[in-house]
C-alpha cells in the first residue's frame, strides 16, 4: 500500500507540477527536479538520522541488483563473505553472491523451515571476512531479527527492502543498507543504498559503471536518467512520514498493528502462524488455516469483502498479510473482523 494522501497529491500534480508540465516530463537535470531529488535525500537523512559519513544513493535494478553490486563493490573475487540464511530472499542473495565471491553460510535456518533466526552466539563468522550479509526481515517467511548482529568490526550489510522506515534504526551499526522502494518507500523503480563512505571506491575491476558505488555517488545518482517519478514519489512519502511523526510514531503504529493480527491468529486454533514469537515480522504476517482446503475459499471471500493481496507468495503458498507503513490500523482491524467471521461460518 502507498499512503493515500501521497497518492492524492501525486494525482493532483500529474498533469501540472510546479506550474508547468508533469514531473515525468521535466528534465532530470532541471533545477526543479534536482531540488526534488536533494530534498528527498535530506528528508530520508532526517528520518533515519543518517550520519554524514554515509552516502545515500538512489539506484536502479531493485534489491536484486544489489545482490550482485554488494560483492562487486565490497569484496575481491577470492575473498570470503559471510551470509546468514534465514529465508527465501537470503537464499536468492546467496545464490547470486556465489557468482562473485566465496560465500560462507554463517547461519542456516532452513531446518526450521525458516521459522527462526539464529542466536548471535551461534553465528559462524569468518575472521577478516569482506562483509557479513543478512536479511533483517524475510518478506515471504515473515521472520524478523529482533537484534542487529554483532560482527566484531566486519562491515554489516543488510537487505532492508521490507522493513526500512518501519521504525527507528541505528544506521551506524551498518556498513551498507539497501532496499527496493516498493514497500515502505514508494513505487518500484528506485533502490535506496545507504553506504559508509569507507566502503565506497573499492569496486573491483570490471564492475559495471551503474553498479559502482563511487561512480554513482560522484554523479549524485544521475549517471543516467533516474526513475524521476519514483524519486519524486519517494520524496512525498518521506514528507508524509515526517508529518505523521517520523519513525518513532511508525514504530508505535506498526507494533500495535502486528500485535492485533498475531493475537487474532494465536487466540484461535483455526489459524496458525509458524514463526517463533521472538522473531515475528511486523510487516509480513504469513498464516495458514488448520484446514488448508479452505484457503482458496478464504481468499475468495476476503476479496469479495474488499480485502486484497492476501495470498501467500507463490514460493510458499498459504496466506500472508503485508501490513506496511501505509496500512492503517483500521485495515488490520477489518481483516481481523473478517477472520473471526470466517471462522464462525467455517470453523
Piece of the chain touching ligand PMP by CB under 6 A; list 58-66, 94-102, 226-234, 289-297: 58-66
Q: Does residue 231 have an active-site annotation?
A: no
Q: How far is it, in rounded angstroms, from Cα 333 to Cα 98?
A: 43
- Tell me how many residues contact ligand PMP (CB under 6 A): 10
CB 59, min distance to ligand PMP, A: 11
| Per-residue contact flags (x/-) with ligand PMP for residues 222 to 251, judged by CB under 6 A | ------------------------------
Q: How far is the CB of 181 from ligand PMP (least distance, A)?
A: 8
Size of the chain, expressed as the number of residues it contains: 347
Residue selected from 159, 212, 295, 343 as contacting ligand PMP according to rule CB under 6 A = 159
Compose the 10-39 pattern: x for residues touching ligand PMP by CB under 6 A, - for all others.
Answer: ------------------------------
Site string for ligand PMP, 70-109 (x = CB under 6 A): -------------------x--------------------
189 binds ligand PMP (CB under 6 A): no
User: Which residue in 17, 55, 82, 183 is the catalytic one?
Assistant: 183
* Residue recorded with cell 487474532: 264
Does 68 participate in binding ligand PMP (rule CB under 6 A)? no
Given the residues 89, 231, 240, 282, the one annotated as active site = 89
Residue 183 annotated among the catalytic residues of the structure: yes
* Residues 305, 334: Cα–Cα separation, whole Å: 9
Between residues 9 and 92, which has the closer beta carbon with respect to ligand PMP?
A: 92
Does 166 help bind ligand PMP (rule: CB under 6 A)? Answer: no
- Stretch of 57-65, 239-247, 268-276, 324-332 lying at the interface with ligand PMP (CB under 6 A): 57-65
Contact predicate 23/13, CB 8 Å: yes
Q: How many CA atoms lie within 13 A of 287 on its CB side?
A: 26
286 binds ligand PMP (CB under 6 A): no
Count of CB atoms within 10 A of residue 239's CB?
17
What residues act catalytically? 89, 159, 183
Site residues (CB under 6 A) for ligand PMP?
62-64, 89, 135, 139, 159, 161-162, 180
Amino acid at each position: 500500500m502507498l499512503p493515500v494522501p501521497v497518492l492524492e497529491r501525486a494525482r493532483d500534480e500529474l498533469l501540472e507540477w510546479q506550474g508547468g508540465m508533469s514531473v515525468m516530463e521535466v528534465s532530470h537535470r532541471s533545477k526543479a527536479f534536482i531540488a526534488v531529488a536533494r530534498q528527498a535525500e535530506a528528508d530520508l537523512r532526517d528520518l533515519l538520522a543518517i550520519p554524514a559519513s554515509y552516502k545515500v544513493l538512489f539506484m536502479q535494478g531493485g534489491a536484486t541488483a544489489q545482490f550482485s553490486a554488494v560483492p562487486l563493490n565490497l569484496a575481491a573475487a577470492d575473498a570470503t563473505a559471510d551470509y546468514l540464511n534465514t529465508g527465501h530472499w537470503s537464499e536468492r542473495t546467496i545464490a547470486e553472491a556465489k557468482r562473485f565471491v566465496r560465500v560462507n553460510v554463517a547461519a542456516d535456518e532452513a531446518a526450521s523451515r525458516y521459522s527462526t533466526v539464529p542466536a548471535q552466539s551461534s553465528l559462524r563468522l569468518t575472521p577478516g571476512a569482506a562483509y557479513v550479509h543478512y536479511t533483517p526481515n524475510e518478506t515471504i517467511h515473515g521472520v524478523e531479527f529482533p537484534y542487529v548482529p554483532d560482527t566484531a568490526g566486519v562491515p554489516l550489510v543488510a537487505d532492508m527492502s521490507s522493513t526500512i522506515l518501519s521504525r527507528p534504526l541505528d544506521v551506524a551499526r551498518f556498513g551498507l543498507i539497501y532496499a527496493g522502494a516498493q514497500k515502505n518507500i514508494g513505487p518500484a523503480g528506485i533502490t535506496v543504498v545507504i553506504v559508509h563512505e569507507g566502503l565506497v571506491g573499492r569496486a573491483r575491476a570490471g564492475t559495471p559503471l551503474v553498479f559502482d558505488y563511487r561512480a554513482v555517488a560522484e554523479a549524485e545518482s544521475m549517471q543516467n536518467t533516474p526513475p524521476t517519478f519514483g524519486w519524486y514519489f519517494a520524496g512525498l512519502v518521506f514528507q508524509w512520514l515526517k508529518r505523521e511523526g517520523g519513525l518513532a510514531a511508525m514504530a508505535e503504529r506498526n507494533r500495535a498493528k502486528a500485535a492485533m493480527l498475531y493475537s487474532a491468529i494465536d487466540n484461535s486454533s483455526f489459524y496458525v502462524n509458524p514463526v517463533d514469537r521472538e522473531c515475528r515480522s511486523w510487516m509480513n504476517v504469513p498464516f495458514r488455516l488448520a484446514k488448508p482446503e479452505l484457503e482458496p475459499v478464504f481468499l475468495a471471500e476476503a476479496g469479495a469483502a474488499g480485502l486484497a493481496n492476501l495470498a501467500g507468495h507463490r514460493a510458499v503458498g498459504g496466506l500472508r498479510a503485508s501490513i506496511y507503513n501505509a496500512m492503517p490500523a483500521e485495515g488490520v482491524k477489518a481483516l481481523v473482523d473478517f477472520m473471526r467471521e470466517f471462522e464462525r461460518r467455517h470453523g
